[in-house]
């Protein structure tokens, strides 16, 4: 099939590349000329395991094309995916400016029936706005061309996006006619190993499904983090509690690991956008508001532990931070807990030596660029040299089994603050480390 993908961010680039991998002809369009130029040179703007090789292979085969001309892309496309960003507005709502700009361009330049697919995460009712925008442009042209607007929310996990797309848990399609469903089923059929993974519904339900899924997962995380705070107060061990409740098949072990808060491009934005939508319709979403409040507080927990241990004035102290990205296997630092932790410590006079396998550029260039008290190093052990304690923020694989003898030599004090409860308390204390976890009384 012939497809155009408007937007070469995380969702657009992964989706376009995976569609091309299955033999479709894909044109990825972006207004950012530098990004398109780099993509043509094989320079990928994001880190995602397996993506770079797949992009290069399909680009070299000619099944994946990059350009900046939406008019040209629409000429040969049967299906046009809108995959541009929907940044969070000041009031928590999703900003649809870029989505509607694309819809306007589609209305201006389409030359035949078009299946327009909302792939961006958008609030309920967006398909109606996209439809109205396209139709308005067609009316200006006195055109009788027809089109369908379809909702196809993405459910990609950063760090496992290729596998998620190629072997999806489910494909959700929202449409209002059988032909639209049939076209989307034909497109996704190569990815489906079980027919029940192709789930059809009305458009508004499909739009809501994405937000509801992320809100549920965020709720599990915040619930477990709140339980971890109660565990510390009463003297219980959150790690044992997690094992106890996770064994219940109704609960399961996914997303119940205590930590220093969730981040990334989806959960914070989607929880707030769903809450804003509810409030716009006159409903107060008490659970969603609480999920966000708990998460914001949780991001400060590790910094609070450090301050409690070393004092409010951290002048002259240096802390090694392992991990900057919001989760492993990505360089994404949007809403990352590391930002809050580092800013809390450096605002009190501390120095930070930070290491992350992939996110250093993002930190230096964007998220911590104005913080002069942060030094970036090229290895986890280099970060430890003359540091007063190590703080684990992101659970990258290379942090799972470190050389504790090497750590003891390099650190000024054998102190670890573990924001992901990755190590065994008994083992560390037996070799002389002072070990602080989430949800376990120190």
Flag whether 263 is marked binding: yes
Helices of type H across 155-246: 161-166, 178-188, 203-234, 238-246
Which of residues 170, 201, 232 is at a domain's end? 201
Which of residues 172, 201, 230 is at a domain's end? 201
Flag whether 334 is marked binding: yes
> Are residues 133 and 55 both part of a single domain?
yes
CATH number assigned to the domain comprising residue 400:
3.40.50.720
pLDDT of residue 403: 98
For residue 441, being part of any structural domain is answered with: no
Flag whether 388 is marked binding: no
Phi-psi region of 167 (alpha: psi -120 to 50; beta: other; left: phi over 0): beta
Which of residues 271, 297, 323 is at a domain's end? 297
> Are residues 22 and 169 both part of a single domain?
yes
Task: Identify the DSSP state of 153.
Answer: -
CB-based burial of residue 169 (10 Å sphere; 0-12 exposed, 13-18 middle, 19+ buried)?
exposed
> Are residues 35 and 161 both part of a single domain?
yes
Strand duo 114-118 + 64-67: pairing: unpaired
Flag whether 327 is marked binding: yes
> Are residues 38 and 95 both part of a single domain?
yes
> Are residues 346 and 253 both part of a single domain?
no
pTM, rounded to two decimals: 0.93
| CA dist., res. 404 & res. 179, Å (int) | 61
Choice among 28, 231, 260, 266 that is catalytic? 266
CB 261 within 8 A of CB 298: yes
For residue 13, being part of any structural domain is answered with: yes
> Are residues 292 and 334 both part of a single domain?
no
Flag whether 86 is marked binding: yes
The rounded radius of gyration (Å) of the Cα atoms in the chain is 24
Flag whether 121 is marked binding: yes
User: How many Cβ atoms sit within 10 Å of the Cβ of residue 24?
Assistant: 19
> Are residues 291 and 304 both part of a single domain?
no
User: How far is Cα of residue 1 from the mean position of the Cα atoms in its chain?
Assistant: 29
pLDDT of residue 193: 77
For residue 206, being part of any structural domain is answered with: no
pLDDT of residue 196: 72
Tokens matching residue 288: 């969603």
> Are residues 374 and 257 both part of a single domain?
no
- Output 177-185 pairs: Cβ under 8 A, ≥24 positions apart: 177/148, 179/148, 180/115, 180/148, 180/150, 183/78, 183/79, 183/115, 184/115, 184/117, 184/150, 184/152
For residue 358, being part of any structural domain is answered with: yes
> Are residues 243 and 137 both part of a single domain?
no
pLDDT along the chain (442 residues), means of 10: 97 98 97 96 93 96 97 97 91 92 98 97 95 98 98 95 94 97 97 84 97 97 98 97 97 96 94 95 97 98 98 98 97 97 98 98 95 98 98 98 98 98 96 97 86
Residue 242's domain comprises: 211-297
> In what side-by-side order are the strands of the sheet with 198-201?
64-67, 25-29, 2-6, 79-82, 114-118, 147-151, 171-174, 198-201
Flag whether 50 is marked binding: no
> Are residues 191 and 217 both part of a single domain?
no
CATH number assigned to the domain comprising residue 226:
1.10.1040.10
For residue 274, being part of any structural domain is answered with: yes
> Are residues 98 and 192 both part of a single domain?
yes
User: Number of structural domains, the chain?
Assistant: 3
For residue 442, being part of any structural domain is answered with: no
For residue 174, being part of any structural domain is answered with: yes
> Are residues 274 and 233 both part of a single domain?
yes
Tokens 């290729």 belong to residue: 162
Tokens matching residue 53: 């090789």
User: How many Cβ atoms sit within 10 Å of the Cβ of residue 87?
Assistant: 13
| CA dist., res. 136 & res. 428, Å (int) | 66
Flag whether 140 is marked binding: no
266 catalytic? Reply is yes
For residue 70, being part of any structural domain is answered with: yes
CB 20 within 8 A of CB 96: no
pLDDT of residue 195: 62
């Amino acid at each position: 099939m012939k497809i155009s993908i408007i937007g070469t961010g995380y969702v657009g680039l992964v989706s376009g590349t995976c569609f091309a991998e299955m033999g479709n002809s894909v044109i990825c369009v972006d207004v950012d000329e530098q990004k398109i130029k780099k993509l043509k040179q094989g320079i990928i703007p994001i880190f995602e395991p397996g993506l770079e090789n797949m992009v290069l292979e399909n680009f070299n085969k000619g099944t994946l094309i990059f350009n900046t001309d939406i008019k040209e892309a629409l000429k040969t496309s049967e299906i046009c995916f809108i995959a541009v960003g929907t940044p969070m507005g000041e009031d928590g709502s999703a900003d649809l400016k870029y989505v509607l700009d694309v819809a306007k361009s589609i209305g201006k330049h389409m030359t035949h029936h078009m299946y327009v697919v909302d792939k961006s995460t958008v609030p309920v009712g967006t398909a109606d706005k996209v439809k109205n925008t396209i139709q308005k442009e067609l009316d200006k042209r006195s055109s009788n061309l027809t089109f369908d607007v379809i909702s196809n929310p993405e459910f990609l996990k950063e760090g496992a996006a290729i596998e998620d797309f190629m072997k999806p848990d489910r494909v959700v399609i929202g449409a209002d006619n059988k032909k639209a469903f049939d076209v989307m089923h034909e497109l996704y059929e190569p990815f489906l190993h079980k027919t029940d993974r192709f789930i059809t519904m009305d458009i508004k339900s499909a739009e809501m499904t994405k937000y509801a899924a992320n809100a549920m997962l965020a709720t599990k995380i915040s619930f477990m983090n709140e339980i971890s705070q109660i565990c510390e107060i009463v003297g219980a061990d959150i790690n044992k509690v997690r094992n106890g409740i996770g064994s219940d098949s109704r609960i399961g072990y996914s997303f119940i690991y205590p930590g220093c808060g969730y981040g990334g491009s989806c959960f914070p934005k989607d929880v707030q956008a769903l809450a804003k939508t509810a409030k716009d319709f006159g409903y107060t979403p008490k659970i969603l508001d609480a999920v966000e409040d708990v998460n914001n507080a949780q991001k400060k927990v590790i910094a609070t532990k450090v301050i409690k241990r070393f004092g409010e004035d951290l002048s002259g102290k240096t802390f090694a931070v392992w991990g900057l990205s919001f989760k492993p296997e990505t360089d994404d630092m949007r809403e990352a807990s590391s930002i809050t932790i580092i800013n809390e410590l450096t605002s009190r006079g501390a120095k930070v030596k930070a290491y992350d396998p992939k996110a250093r550029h993002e930190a230096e260039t964007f998220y911590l660029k104005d913080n002069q008290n942060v030094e970036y190093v090229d290895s986890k052990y280099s970060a430890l040299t003359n540091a007063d304690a190590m703080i684990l923020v992101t659970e990258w694989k290379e942090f799972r089994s470190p050389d504790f003898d090497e750590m003891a030599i390099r650190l000024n004090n054998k102190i670890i603050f573990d924001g992901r409860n990755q190590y065994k308390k008994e083992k560390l204390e037996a070799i002389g480390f002072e070990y602080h976890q989430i949800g376990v009384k120190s």
